[in-house]
Structure 1
Amino acid sequence: MDERLIGAAQTGDVETLYNLIQGDPFVLDKIDRVSLVDTPLHVAISANQTNFAKEIASLKSSFVVKLNQYRYSPIHLASMVGQAEIVKELITIDPKLRLLKGQEKTTLLHCAAMADHTDVINLLLDGCPQSLMELTIWNVTALHLVVKSNQLEAFKLLFEWRKSFKTSRLVPPPFCLHWKVPNYNG
């Protein structure tokens, strides 16, 4: 990726972004053709440049689901670092993103839960409570992950969500902490 584009994404310089596009109308398309790469959207989210992230997502929506070399999409990164505003913006564009799988089949909920970002957890569960049941490749749920990573606030929140859906049958019976997880070392 062009160093000027990286710099623009890191600093949130939308004007430079448009100047680069004016100089090379295919600058974003070239990035999109590469598999498993950090896009300007990944960079902007990592640098907490919300306005730039919104702008680049509107220009190149395919970047929203593009995985980087670590197999995380930009919205996974936003969930990991607790950027609720950008998570909300992106799931408004496509609500199905809540179930997008990344590295080791982690969802946005898994990422937010392991980092104890309760505001992001609420955003994700509010529109997709069934994500409580999503399993990683290790056959663990977000609740298992918060216990393993000692995230007390996330644990309380996930447990409350789980209780509220227990009677509605959205969350089937196997959703429990004593569920045997074979060979999980994650």
Structure 2
Amino acid sequence: MEAVENLMEDARVGNIDALYELLRSTPFILESFEHVQFMDTLLHIAASEGCTHFAIEIISLKPSYTDGLSPLDLALRNGHRETVSRMVQVNPELIRVKGKRRITPLHYVAQTDDVDLLVEFLLAYPASIEDLTICDDTAVHIAVKNRKEKSFNVLLGWLQRTDYSDLLDWKDEAGNTVLHVAASTNQPQACFLDIYPLPFFFLVET
């Protein structure tokens, strides 16, 4: 269908005017994307291309497009930080959308040591810290297993100053807490987390 192909191209280049022009002539065209593969929705296309404003318009018009594989994840992996931040402002729940292996955007930034986005996500949706991967890993498990010291420090500071401190006792599918992982991988800075509490806003600047 030519109109659908045109709309997909509008999403790739971020042409909002063309989007609304097409909606006037074909009011129900967005429904054409309800049953396509997750990666092919207009929101996913716009997010992967870093078309921030177009992505925000689609989130507003069709919130259902945020179900399934996260468009926020696509924007993250393609390095479109402004798009990521704006999408989180409009719909913080995107932080908790699980992708492959139930990895969320919070897990991803913990693994990549992107502490700025890690802090932004925690502030936008604190409960996202409770999300688990398919292996029952928390974001803290992920940071320690990948030796991401900055991410670990930020997460630790956050946990120590919120109601989520018991998360440090959560176990992955192998029965390991964060302390077990730290000890088995020779990471002493994580082993002494109960002895040397670290201030959250100091850690943000590391």
TM-score, length basis structure 1:
0.75
Partner of 1:177: 178
CA–CA distance in structure 2, aligned partners of residues 136 and 179 of structure 1: 18
Q: What are the Cα deviations for residues 101-130 of structure 1, in whole angstroms up to 9, with x where unaligned?
A: 232222231123223333322222114334
Structure 2 match to 1:33: 35
Comparing 53-62 with 125-134, which one deviates more in the overlay? 125-134
Tell me the SS of whatever aligns to 2:40. coil
- What secondary structure is seen at the aligned counterpart in 2 of 1:178? helix
Identity, % of aligned pairs? 34
Report the Cα distance in structure 2 between the residues aligned to 1:117 and 1:152, rounded to whole angstroms: 11
Q: CA deviation at 1:8?
A: 1.1
Deviations 1:17-59 (A, max 9, x none): 1222233222211101335342111111111111111111111
Q: 1:58 to 1:133 in 2, by over 3 A?
A: closer
Q: 1:105 to 1:8 in 2, by over 3 A?
A: same
Other-structure match for 1:76: 73
Using the TM superposition, name which of 156-165 and 21-30 deviates more: 156-165
Change (3 A) 1:160 1:80: farther
> TM-score, normalised to structure 2's length?
0.68
Which 5+ residue runs of structure 1 have no aligned equivalent?
181-186
Deviation of the 1:96 alpha carbon: 4.1
Quick check: which has more Rg, 1 or 2?
2
Partner Cα distance (1:145, 1:81) in 2: 21
CA RMSD of aligned residues (A): 2.7
Partner SS for 1:42: helix
The total of aligned residue pairs comes to 172
CA distance in 2, matches of 1:170, 1:9: 39
> Any stretches of 5+ residues in structure 2 without a counterpart?
171-176, 182-206
Q: Is the 8 A contact 2:131 2:138 kept in 1?
A: yes
Describe the shift of the 1:127–1:37 C-alpha distance in structure 2 as closer, same or farther (beyond 3 A): closer
Per-residue CA deviation, residues 116-173 of structure 1 (Å, 9 max, x unaligned), is 33332222211433432321011111122233445443333223223333xxx42314
In structure 2, give the amino acid aligned to 1:117.
Answer: D
For 1:40-119, list aligned pairs within 5 A: 40-65=42-67, 67=68, 72-81=69-78, 83=80, 85-119=82-116
Q: CA deviation at 1:95?
A: 4.4
CA separation of 1:102 and 1:179: change in aligned 2, threshold 3 A: farther
- Say whether 1:121 aligns with 2:118: yes
Secondary structure of the residue aligned to 2:165 is coil
Structural mapping, 1:136-155, within 5 Å: 136-155=133-152
Name the CA distance, whole Å, in 2 between partners of 1:88 and 1:35.
Answer: 25
